[in-house]
Structure 1
Amino acid sequence: MHAWEAIQKSIDYIESNLTEEVSIEKLAEMAGLSPFYFQRLFSRLVQKPVFEYVKLRRLAQAVSDLKTNNTRILDTAMDYGFSSHANFTRAFKEVYGITPDKYRTTDIQLNQFVKPDLMLNYVMVDENVPLVTDGIVLEVTRKKLDKPRTFIGIAKEIPLSELMGGTNTGVSFAAKLWDEFHEVKAKIPYLLANGNKLGALYMGGAKKDHCTYLAGAEVEYGSVIEGYTVFELPDSDYLVCGFEAVNFEELTNSAVYKAQTFMERWMKEHKLSTTDFAVEMYYPVTDGRAYMEHWVQPVPIKE
């Protein structure tokens, strides 16, 4: 068994037992390592100490429960191993910047520390070969866009830390921007009936440690609408990472992070870089299948 496989086994066990007591000794035995070496290897591969990781994953599940269940906050706290409402609130605010009470009564969306899939750091596939991993399907292909496409929406600066989805926690600025876009989408003229929604990342004069993010949808080519930002996807060759998940929530949370992680490594392995923008192409959810694509313009790295 590879070292990453041993640690992944413990990660899977933790995920299945978030409401149970988890001991280092049990996890180390499962991985076939001493407690000392297990903790060192876990921290190295997951980038978090074991119990910090357990806390983050328990809080991630608690976030879901707070919005979907009608149980008291204290009950949720006790379910995930917190000794009191106060301790839970303190941990929640430290990680997300808001209290569980405020979160439960607002439409705020939060970035989570995603359960890692270590296989994505070690397994490589060729173009046009699907990779099935932890409930999602990834595939890298090439696409040629013969004609430019126009997208219109709302653009704002977001922290570069937002691009660390899956490892960065806190309020999701991108999700908030999408909420703002959906509130006005019906008022935007020239929208294509079968057009895609698109998230675009580019600098656009953003200040230090920030980038510009556009949440928008496709309109008739060349359209310009006062009060909205236009993004034109140029006719070019693109490297595309398509991925699907069991639902839209899974797609836009853990799946998008895993796809990003894999794509970065895939491009590095193939000695490719990219230009100054990247886009997220969204497709309608059909037959229980949620699907989206990351598009970049590949640029060979000169050695």
Structure 2
Amino acid sequence: MEEAQVIQAVQRMQEYIETNLHRKITLKELANVAGYSPWHAARLFKEVTGKPPFDYIRALRLTQAALLLRDEEVKIIDVAMDFVFDSHEGFTRAFSREFGMAPSKYGRQTPPIKLFMPQKVFDTYQSMHKGENRMSEKKETKTVFVQVIERPARKLLLKRGVKATEYFGYCEEVGCEIWSVLTSVKEALYEPIGMWLPGHLIREGTSQYVQGVEVPLDYANVIPEGYELIELPPCTMMVFQGEPYDDIDFMAEIGAIWEHAKRFDPTVYGYQWAPEAAPRFQLAPMGYRGYIEAYPVKAIRNS
């Protein structure tokens, strides 16, 4: 059986699960979608995603339920029924096992938790097999949009690595699941970011590249184990954004933005680079919006 066929079958099951998350899903239904016997479909699903189908479904339902409890005023029994749990008690037990606290407590306090954020396996497969070495291709993004934004004084909830200077090295040191925690932070001012810290923010024995999320200065919620909260002063950032692209081309798009920023003269806008003023940061690559990266700058004072 070809690898691509297996990946496509598992992706079809993933998509079916997402579409039918609020109703009962049977193994027979997943098998029909995959085109294999129930036993074989379940085995392939676990081999590719790392979870048996019903563990995957439960984790995805509990994550969606947690986001609902975080963002809306809802009754726990209604959430339980909406996500196909038989009772308030059964939902509470499952939620507590998944996140380490009862849903009632989470709804009141909404601390950062580790959400379940599965990757689309076919997208991953395409990136691995079609995107290899694309960073070295000299692909030019047709248009790069440049704008200047202001960031207020804020705090940064981050997790440091050891020696990492870029995303892949960071994942090897810290793991790739940190995004699921950062995404859960209710008080977040903006979406989570990957960052290259300026020298004065790098602690001895820790990495230049980190991941984190910016929160208000009065953030007083839980700081997860292994994370840290630091204060960042106001800053000015020059943001580079490429055109939308196919997701499999993300490495080439990142490289194109890096090359553009390297050649760019910020004095055209009346600014100069200020690498020590703030972390340079990148947003999660998403093809529909183009790759986005921001560099710290400061205004040029005319004498």
Identify the TM-score tier after normalising by the shorter chain. Answer: 0.5 to 0.7
Question: Is the 2:112–2:181 contact (alpha carbons within 8 Å) kept by the matching residues of 1?
Answer: no
Q: How far 1:5 sits from its partner (Å)?
A: 2.3
What is the rounded CA distance, in whole Å, between the counterparts of 1:110 and 1:19 in structure 2?
22
Q: Does 1:87 align with 2:90?
A: yes
What is the rounded CA distance, in whole Å, between the counterparts of 2:142 and 2:126 in structure 1?
17
Change (3 A) 1:32 1:296: farther
Q: Does 1:178 align with 2:176?
A: no
Partner secondary structure for residue 112 of structure 1? coil
Residue in 1 aligned with 2:292? 294
Question: Is the 2:115–2:181 contact (alpha carbons within 8 Å) kept by the matching residues of 1?
Answer: yes
AA in 2 matched with 1:22: I
Question: Is the 1:239–1:295 contact (alpha carbons within 8 Å) kept by the matching residues of 2?
Answer: yes
What is the rounded CA distance, in whole Å, between the counterparts of 2:23 and 2:233 in structure 1?
48
What is the rounded CA distance, in whole Å, between the counterparts of 2:21 and 2:214 in structure 1?
34
Q: How far 1:72 sits from its partner (Å)?
A: 3.3
Alpha-carbon deviations, 1:193-248, whole Å to 9, x = none?
A: xxxx99562343257599364639xxxxxxxxxx742556579xx684759xxxxx
**Correspondence 1:108-257 to 2 at 5 A:** 108=111, 112-114=115-117, 116-123=119-126, 143=144, 151-159=151-159, 164=177, 168=180, 172-173=184-185, 175-178=186-189, 201-203=195-197, 204-205=201-202, 211=210, 213=212, 215=214, 228-229=232-233, 233=237, 240=242
Question: Is the 1:97–1:170 contact (alpha carbons within 8 Å) kept by the matching residues of 2?
Answer: no
Q: How far 1:121 sits from its partner (Å)?
A: 2.3
Structure with greater Cα Rg: 2
Between structures 1 and 2, the one with greater strand share: 1
AA in 2 matched with 1:294: I
What is the rounded CA distance, in whole Å, between the counterparts of 2:87 and 2:281 in structure 1?
44
Q: How far 1:30 sits from its partner (Å)?
A: 2.1
Number of aligned pairs?
A: 227
Residue in 1 aligned with 2:80? 77
Question: Is the 1:154–1:214 contact (alpha carbons within 8 Å) kept by the matching residues of 2?
Answer: no
What is the rounded CA distance, in whole Å, between the counterparts of 2:152 and 2:109 in structure 1?
27
Change (3 A) 1:30 1:214: closer
Question: Is the 1:277–1:296 contact (alpha carbons within 8 Å) kept by the matching residues of 2?
Answer: yes
Change (3 A) 1:212 1:70: closer
**Correspondence 1:54-65 to 2 at 5 A:** 54-65=57-68
Alpha-carbon deviations, 1:72-118, whole Å to 9, x = none?
A: 31343244343443332232233234321123234556553235433
What is the rounded CA distance, in whole Å, between the counterparts of 1:214 and 1:69 in structure 2?
21
How high is the TM-score relative to the length of structure 1?
0.53
Partner secondary structure for residue 158 of structure 1? strand
Residue in 2 aligned with 1:4? 7
